[in-house]
């Protein structure tokens, strides 16, 4: 362990002062429900809330193998993005004829989240402060300048910042330009997931923690979900299990679990903050393929995450993978290089979490068991807000409703599957190496150009 990280607690900074751990008992015996949701992160909780909003008489059960918010939803960066397409440029490349509609639905989704959080008094430090994307090289600066047009022609307010302007805002020798965007914002992710839990329960959802769904099969008149000690008979099942081994085996081909790592510092004093500037308190990310994301917390710590996106052979998901010294050490080094003036600010927390990546960077949706099971998985590092949209899509599919959402090609189309092992791991390693080379040289190599043609890539 490097000296810089020796005192860093191995858990998300968001869990400080939060009520963590399970609060409900696993069920035993036989139970009935109308809808069983598998997974209690944002997707599962929004699904329960939206289902009960549509029909308050429904009996909704949510099964969570660990505890509510223990996975990505309680440990992410808290960037709230309006995008349902992993950025405008990607949306234009993938779904040129429906990108405006997707942007409209993405904006509507976030404004409905803001309204919901206010209405239910969820104290999640939700701030619509936008973000600045930062260039570290001249080719990234050129790309940001070119992106101004892409954003403005789609009605997004953005501003290009040259070196002087960006340093006047965020003082770091690393940044040569920036793109200030005024859409989206920041939230305390753990407070959000806990607020959603409170509302879901107040509407009547029954949440069972430490309850892993181990099997799913058709039974007379519906479905049965098995857990270690219980059988739940129900009419419908919604899979919101993110990057974890899926109950529908086919999903393994489309969803790749990727580990992302994060550090947080001690709270900065006013004098320490003044050394950086950052008076707009917006979210910040690098422009590169291998990017850091960073932001201030409610108590003025700096959360600093990203860069490494680590895939483990065979789609491995395990709690011991949430800590990785090499990735944390690299993050610490990069932080010190980016903000040398904060040499006296210690790191207090280090953690990681698993992201459900698809080859098109956006979730996949579909049904199984004659439409009685629906899934929404594959949010690829941008699910804080889009999981609500995803939950609504999955509910539409379960109800057999044709809506503005289910008509979208971004919903009906499928991502290109990842190759199976033993090809999957080297394919990811090769693609990551090509992405790193592009960051260095500014040139998109042959492999990436070929993948672009098929709408395939690797992202976190
Ligand atoms: C480190 C990190 C940083 C991120 N930063 C951002 C960000 O700044 N902005 C952004 O938009 N997105 C970010 N993301 C992504 C975002 O957190 C996710 O897209 C989002 O939380 C996904 O929500 P979910 O409910 O689908 O998944 P999860 O929160 O992972 O919830 C799925 C739940 O299902 C449970 N489960 C799985 N299988 C079973 C089973 N068989 N039985 C019972 N329960 C089961 C799991 O235990 C888990 O709790 C980040 C992710 C990580 C890991």
Ligand 1 centroid, distance to 280 Cα (angstroms): 28
Same domain, 218 and 248: yes
Q: Which of 393, 456, 392 is nearest to 427 (CA)?
A: 456
Ligand 1 centroid, distance to 387 Cα (angstroms): 9
Do 117 and 192 contact (CB within 8 A), yes or no? yes
Cα dihedral 217, 394, 99, 154 sign: negative
Q: What is the pTM of this model?
A: 0.97
Ligand 1 centroid, distance to 232 Cα (angstroms): 24
**Which CATH number do you get for residue 388?**
3.50.50.60
Q: Tell the residue nearest (CA) to atom 2 of ligand 1.
A: 76
Q: Kindly indicate the confidence band of residue 453, based on its pLDDT and cuts at 50, 70 and 90.
A: confident
Please give the share of the chain, as a percent, with pLDDT higher than 90.
Answer: 93
Q: Kindly indicate the confidence band of residue 355, based on its pLDDT and cuts at 50, 70 and 90.
A: very high
Q: Tell the residue nearest (CA) to atom 50 of ligand 1.
A: 76
Whether residue 37 lies inside any domain: the answer is yes
Same domain, 243 and 219: yes
For residue 81, how many other CB atoms are within 10 A of its CB?
23
Ligand 1 pocket at CB < 6 A: 38-44, 63-66, 70-73, 75-79, 81, 212-213, 240-242, 244, 247, 260, 262, 293, 305, 353-355, 379, 381-384, 387
Ligand 1 centroid, distance to 243 Cα (angstroms): 7
Same domain, 370 and 394: yes
Average pLDDT for residues 213-241, to the nearest whole number? 96
pLDDT of residue 1: 72
pLDDT of residue 105: 98
Q: Tell the residue nearest (CA) to atom 12 of ligand 1.
A: 382
Using most ligand atoms within 8 A of CB, pick from 27, 189, 354, 381 the residue to mutate for ligand 1: 381
Same domain, 17 and 58: yes
Which atom in ligand 1 lies closest to the alpha carbon of residue 81? 11
Same domain, 194 and 248: yes
Using most ligand atoms within 8 A of CB, pick from 13, 66, 69, 72 the residue to mutate for ligand 1: 72
Average pLDDT for residues 125-129, to the nearest whole number? 98
Whether residue 216 lies inside any domain: the answer is yes
pLDDT of residue 2: 84
Average pLDDT for residues 67-79, to the nearest whole number? 98
Domain holding 382, by residue range, is: 13-75+190-254+361-412
Which residue pairs, CB below 8 angstroms and at least 24 apart, start in 141-147? 141/176, 141/177, 143/287, 144/177, 144/178, 144/179, 144/287, 145/177, 147/89, 147/179
Whether residue 367 lies inside any domain: the answer is yes
Average pLDDT for residues 269-287, to the nearest whole number? 97
Using most ligand atoms within 8 A of CB, pick from 242, 262, 382 the residue to mutate for ligand 1: 242
Q: Tell the residue nearest (CA) to atom 9 of ligand 1.
A: 79
Do 23 and 368 contact (CB within 8 A), yes or no? no
pLDDT of residue 399: 97
What's the number of domains the chain is made of?
Answer: 2
- How confident is the model over 148-183, as pLDDT tens digits? 999 999 999 999 999 999 999 999 999 999 999 999
Ligand 1 centroid, distance to 58 Cα (angstroms): 25
Average pLDDT for residues 270-298, to the nearest whole number? 96
Same domain, 379 and 432: no
Average pLDDT for residues 380-395, to the nearest whole number? 97
Which atom in ligand 1 lies closest to the alpha carbon of residue 227? 42
Whether residue 48 lies inside any domain: the answer is yes
Whether residue 204 lies inside any domain: the answer is yes
pLDDT of residue 217: 96
Distance CA 451, CA 447 (A): 6
Whether residue 82 lies inside any domain: the answer is no
pLDDT of residue 241: 98
Distance CA 75, CA 190 (A): 7
Using most ligand atoms within 8 A of CB, pick from 75, 308, 383, 391 the residue to mutate for ligand 1: 383
pLDDT of residue 188: 98
Q: Kindly indicate the confidence band of residue 460, based on its pLDDT and cuts at 50, 70 and 90.
A: confident
Ligand 1 centroid, distance to 340 Cα (angstroms): 33
Whether residue 306 lies inside any domain: the answer is no
3 state SS of 284: strand
Q: Tell the residue nearest (CA) to atom 16 of ligand 1.
A: 383
Whether residue 129 lies inside any domain: the answer is no
Average pLDDT for residues 93-122, to the nearest whole number? 97
Q: What does pLDDT average to over the chain?
A: 96
């Amino acid at each position: 362990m490097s000296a810089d990280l020796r005192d860093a607690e191995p858990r998300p900074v968001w869990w400080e002062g939060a009520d963590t751990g399970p609060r409900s008992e696993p069920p035993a015996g036989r139970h009935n429900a109308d809808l069983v949701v598998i997974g209690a992160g944002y997707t599962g909780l929004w699904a329960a809330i939206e289902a009960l909003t549509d029909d308050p008489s429904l009996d909704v059960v949510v099964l969570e193998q660990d505890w509510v918010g223990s996975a990505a939803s309680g440990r992410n960066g808290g960037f709230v993005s309006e995008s349902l397409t992993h950025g405008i440029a990607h949306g234009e490349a993938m779904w040129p004829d429906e990108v405006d509609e997707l942007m409209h639905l993405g904006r509507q989704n976030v404004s409905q989240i803001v309204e919901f959080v206010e209405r239910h008094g969820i104290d999640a430090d939700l701030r619509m402060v936008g973000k600045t994307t930062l260039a570290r090289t001249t080719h990234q600066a050129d790309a940001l300048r070119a992106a101004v047009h892409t954003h403005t022609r789609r009605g997004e307010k953005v501003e290009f910042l040259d070196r002087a302007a960006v340093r006047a805002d965020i003082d770091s020798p690393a940044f040569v330009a920036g793109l200030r965007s005024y859409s989206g914002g920041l939230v305390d992710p753990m407070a959000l997931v806990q607020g959603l839990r409170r509302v879901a329960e107040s509407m009547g959802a029954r949440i069972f923690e430490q309850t892993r769904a181990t099997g799913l099969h058709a039974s007379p008149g519906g479905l049965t979900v098995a857990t270690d000690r219980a059988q739940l008979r129900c009419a419908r099942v919604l899979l919101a299990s993110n990057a974890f081994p899926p109950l529908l085996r086919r999903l393994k081909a489309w969803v790749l679990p990727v580990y992302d790592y994060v550090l947080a510092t001690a709270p900065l004093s006013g004098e320490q903050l003044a050394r950086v500037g950052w008076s707009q308190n917006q979210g910040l990310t690098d422009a590169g393929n291998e990017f850091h994301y960073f932001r201030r917390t409610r108590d003025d710590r700096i959360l600093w995450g990203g860069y490494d996106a680590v895939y483990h052979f065979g789609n491995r998901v395990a709690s011991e993978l949430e800590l990785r010294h090499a990735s944390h050490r690299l993050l610490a080094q990069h932080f010190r290089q980016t903000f040398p003036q904060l040499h006296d600010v210690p790191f207090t927390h280090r953690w990681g979490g698993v992201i459900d990546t698809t080859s098109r960077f956006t979730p996949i949706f579909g049904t199984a068991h004659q439409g009685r099971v629906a899934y929404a998985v594959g949010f690829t590092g941008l699910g804080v807000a889009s999981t609500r949209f995803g939950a609504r899509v999955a509910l539409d599919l379960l109800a057999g409703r044709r809506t503005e959402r289910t008509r979208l090609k971004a919903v009906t189309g499928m991502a290109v599957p990842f190759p199976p092992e033993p090809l999957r791991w080297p394919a990811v390693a090769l693609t990551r190496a090509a992405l790193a080379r592009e960051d260095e040289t500014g040139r998109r190599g042959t492999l990436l150009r070929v993948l672009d043609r098929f709408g395939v890539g690797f992202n976190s």
